[in-house]
Amino acid sequence: MAGEHSTVDRFGGVLGPAQRERAWAELGEQRFDIVVVGGGVVGVGTALDAATRGLKVALVEARDLASGTSSRSSKLFHGGLRYLEQLEFGLVREALRERELMLTRLAPHLVKPVSFLYPLTNRVWERPYTAAGLFLYDTMGGARSVPGQKHLTRAGALRLVPALKRDALIGGIRYFDAQADDARHTMTVARTAAHYGAVVRTSTQVVGFLREADRVVGVRVRDVEDGRETDVRAEAVINCTGVWTDELQRVSGSRGRFRVRASKGVHIVVPRDRIIAESGLILRTEKSVLFVIPWRNHWIVGTTDTEWNLDLAHPAATRADIDYILEHVNTVLARPLTHDDIEGVYAGLRPLLAGESEETSKLSREHAVARVAPGLVAIAGGKYTTYRVMAADAVDAAAVDLPGRLQPSITDRVPLLGADGYHALVNQADLLAQRHALHPYRVRHLLDRYGSLLHEVLDLAKDRPDLLKPLDAAPDYLRVEAVYAASHEGALHLEDVLARRTRISIEYPHRGIDSARQAADLVGDVLGWDEAARAHEVDIYLARVEAERASQSQADDAAADASRIAAPEARPRLEDLIPR
């Protein structure tokens, strides 16, 4: 019953092989208050929200945590400065509050301040106009935990970003937002939900809905690794599948209350030394804005904003998308970027609520939630930054189907795993480095990925000091991180490790190919892969990289999509439930 199931899981939020098998049994044997469908940030946030209200919760995801939009964003927690121009003050204020919570209380180990320079090009109106917008940004909450705006002359702006052409600006304004590794953040929210008792299971696809009369009373799921199926019964089902919202709605047989359109956003990754700068950039384009975002030893440059009507699981970047980004960023760079500079490319789909405008950049970033049938709630739209608010709204909408009184949301006071003790460990980084014979820089890097879970990671290397060596051809990551991804973080395939638990697939020119065999051996030791399975995982991953590279040389979406979907799926029994 609602309100009677608050618990802390005995696995402590570990998503590993033992937990996975137990979770399958629980899905079939227990009756849940809520089943959440979708392992993106909104889905895992909903599971955490419901679990911490004392509800009995299950979350199922057909692929991997954050395998869709939630690993392919601009990796920013931001108020949405440009939404001020659209007069969406409520959305900006809400997002800034969420950014503040992440930086200070909920995820300081994962979410960090990031500086941006806004170059000014008009001497008359632009500085007061932009300053007024940034003043609103700051007063709405933007300057609580990060510095406020700072005005710069042309000389000052060029000192901050020497890479700019001198004639590309007449001055600038520096302001701050925040950033995070989106896939790692989403996975940590999922682990936190599991820590508070949610049953979290990936590679578990909804293939049908259970009904009693006109009421949805659960889902039928398939383990896409081995083909097993079971029924999962619940008082309410919440559809948090993002760009798949309409597809799942059709599977349920219920008529949706809103329509979701997919907008493709492409980003490129280039080495840090290709753009000499101490700050990121935000540039106006004729359609939207373009970000140049500091990302460890790299820059992320993007994004595009175009409608996408093809394969939802594997959106493909085209040559035209990449050319668009290069053309626009090169208008301001003294040393232009070329295709040869690109280390990685990724494409993601934004789930936008369909509106009257045909231009996707003008579709609403607001979210919508609806009880589309008794026992079935759907939520879509929104933006990564406001996932926690969306999750609370989704659980509130399911209240009418739950027995007992629903407790209020408390996730604004629930730090994510790894947050508690993080600041003290940062102060102790030198001592930790001595204890584990690591460079202090390495320890700080690990702390910003795992927070106080660092001890769990390093404990795996107690009897295997070789695990504290870097992965082949990916020196930013230790071998123990691949092991931990499989033993604690729910990774089931090589792709999960190279594309999401680490970001090797976009941070190195080899896109993970040169690390694949060693990573497969490390993960295979945890998951029990034989030699044939290890070789198969490597082959699947190499085919993914080859298909992505091929798609990025195509001229249009149709050709790029055909190239990308030619690669086999890592999860062999996934089905397209709505054939196109």
pLDDT for 401 equals 97
Reduce the DSSP state of residue 209 to 3 states and report it: strand
Reduce the DSSP state of residue 72 to 3 states and report it: coil
Identify whether the C-beta of residue 40 lies closer than 8 Å to the C-beta of residue 186: yes
DSSP 49: H
Kindly list the distances between the CA atom of residue 543 and the CA atoms of 317, 472, 504, in Å, as whole numbers in the listed order.
16, 19, 16
Q: Residue 499 pLDDT > 90, yes or no?
A: yes
User: Can you tell me the mean pLDDT for 67-83?
Assistant: 87
pLDDT for 225 equals 97
Window from 279-283, 284-288, 493-497, 541-545 with minimum mean pLDDT: 284-288
Quick one: how far is CA 56 from the chain centroid? 25
Identify whether the C-beta of residue 227 lies closer than 8 Å to the C-beta of residue 235: no
Identify whether the C-beta of residue 65 lies closer than 8 Å to the C-beta of residue 187: yes
User: Can you tell me the mean pLDDT for 498-507?
Assistant: 98
Distance CA 577, CA 458 (A): 42
Which structure tokens are listed for 110?
């994962």
Convert the pLDDT of each residue in 306-315 to its tens digit. 999 999 999 9
Convert the pLDDT of each residue in 150-203 to its tens digit. 999 999 999 999 999 999 999 999 999 999 999 999 999 999 999 999 999 999
Convert the pLDDT of each residue in 235-261 to its tens digit. 999 999 999 999 999 998 877 778 899
Convert the pLDDT of each residue in 277-299 to its tens digit. 999 999 988 777 899 999 999 99
pLDDT for 284 equals 84
Q: Residue 92 pLDDT > 90, yes or no?
A: no
Q: Residue 445 pLDDT > 80, yes or no?
A: yes
pLDDT for 83 equals 67
Convert the pLDDT of each residue in 370-402 to its tens digit. 999 999 999 998 889 999 999 999 999 999 999
Give the residue from 434, 430, 428, 518 showing the smallest Cα distance to 470.
518
Give the residue from 189, 187, 181 showing the smallest Cα distance to 64.
187
Which structure tokens are listed for 560?
């790029």
Is 62 or 135 the better-scoring residue by pLDDT?
62
Percent of residues, the chain, with pLDDT higher than 90? 81
Q: Residue 10 pLDDT > 60, yes or no?
A: no
Q: Residue 477 pLDDT > 60, yes or no?
A: yes
Q: Residue 89 pLDDT > 90, yes or no?
A: no
pLDDT for 159 equals 97
User: Can you tell me the mean pLDDT for 492-499?
Assistant: 98
Q: Where are the alpha helices (DSSP H) in 371-428?
A: 387-397, 422-427
Residues 6+ apart with CB under 8 A from 428: none
Give the residue from 167, 506, 169, 165 showing the smallest Cα distance to 336.
165
Q: Would you call the peptide bond into 303 cis, given omega within 30 degrees of 0 as the criterion?
A: yes
**Mean pLDDT across the chain:** 92
- pLDDT band of 86, cuts 50, 70, 90: low
Q: Residue 78 pLDDT > 90, yes or no?
A: no
pLDDT for 369 equals 92
φ and ψ of 135, to 5 deg? -65, -45
- pLDDT band of 548, cuts 50, 70, 90: very high
DSSP readout, 477-516? EEHHHHHHHHHTB---SHHHIIIIIS-HHHHSTTTTGGGH
pLDDT for 183 equals 98
- Looking at beta carbons, which pairs linking 19-25 to residues 24 or more positions away fall under 8 Å? 19/194, 20/201, 20/490, 23/199, 23/200, 23/201, 24/201, 24/204, 24/223, 24/228, 24/230
Convert the pLDDT of each residue in 452-474 to its tens digit. 999 999 999 999 999 999 999 99
Which structure tokens are listed for 166?
């001198």
Which structure tokens are listed for 251?
């599977």
* This prediction's pTM: 0.95
Is 142 or 58 the better-scoring residue by pLDDT?
58
